[in-house]
Amino acid sequence: MSSATTFHNIQQQILRIGGPLLIVIGTISCLMNLMVFTKNTLRKNPCTICFIAVNIINLLYFYFGLLPTILSSGYNIDPSTNSIVLCRLRLYFAYVFSSWQSSYIILAAIDRTFITSPNANTRRFSTRRLITISMISISVFWLLFMSHGLIFSEIIQFAPGYFVCYCQPGLYSTLIAYQSISILGVIPPLVMTIFGFLTVRNIRGIQRPAQPSRAVDTGVIAVGQLHALHSKDQQLIRMLLVDIISFTLCKFPSEIMTIYSQITQYSAKSVEQQIIEQSILQLTFLWYFVDNGISCYTNIVVSKTFRAELKRIFSNAYAFYFH
């Protein structure tokens, strides 16, 4: 047995075992996040609205994005290769869900930059109305922008009896690769990092001793020209920063493979090299979804408010069912 075949078998076993495990762990994570973020004490916060949307998208993405890949690569079951409608819907929603996820995290980062700003007028932009309008507008934009997936996706035969649901070969597949690298790979982590840095800078400014001056009532505790964040806002910022780090670390390997594929697309490759590269690509795709399924567990670690709310939910459930 060649090393390429061995590597492919290992990759297949990882998908068979790790894929379903990640879906189960991720589903539990998303559901627990939704239970906490939809509580009355949190759900009115603009940042929390983004978190709710992200977790709903993550939950859907597991079953409409990761699950079909696991069935196809791990179990050789792929209904999308038998129906052009399923094929196009699968790729279309994969594009849309990934765009929605990153966009909502960016909106949350922008909102946290607003709420931590030393400028009172800037802090007024952190409202539920503005975040809701922004989310609806962005959602519609991505639905329209990614509509090409409903037109140019095809069922392609790579070998006798081997069919794959993929984008049209040629110019379109090249454009999709660059779309993935830029719109889904480079720009979102860059924008998240910029606003995360601005938020951290604002927080450091808040923590510096303020000079005595006239306080301005902005809905938060005013101290001179600076203001003190509410505890829940501080907790949400921590959760958001961890989400940004997780997003960047988990999406990065997949985009590296996409860049590598574009650079080497015209290079002569042996069959073994193609098998190894395809196996690595599948593993990076599995890693791509890790951040979608761990946010609840990272929230438990970094946020006291989240732990308290989750404990209260489980305590109430225990009291309801066993007393």
pLDDT per position as a tens digit, 58-101: 999 999 889 988 888 778 788 888 888 988 998 899 899 999 99
Nearest Cα to 96, choosing from 62, 66, 59, 139?
Answer: 139
How far apart are alpha carbons 46 and 40 in whole angstroms?
Answer: 13
Res 246: pLDDT: 93
The greatest distance separating any two alpha carbons of the chain, rounded to the nearest whole angstrom, comes to: 78
Tokens 């042996």 found at:
270
Determine the topology of domain 3-266+289-314 in CATH: Rhopdopsin 7-helix transmembrane proteins (1.20.1070)
Res 83: pLDDT: 87
- Given a cut of 70, the residues of the chain with pLDDT beneath it are 1, 158-162, 207-229, 323
State the first-to-last Cα distance of the chain, in angstroms, to the nearest integer.
Answer: 60
pTM to 2 decimal places: 0.87
Res 220: pLDDT: 45
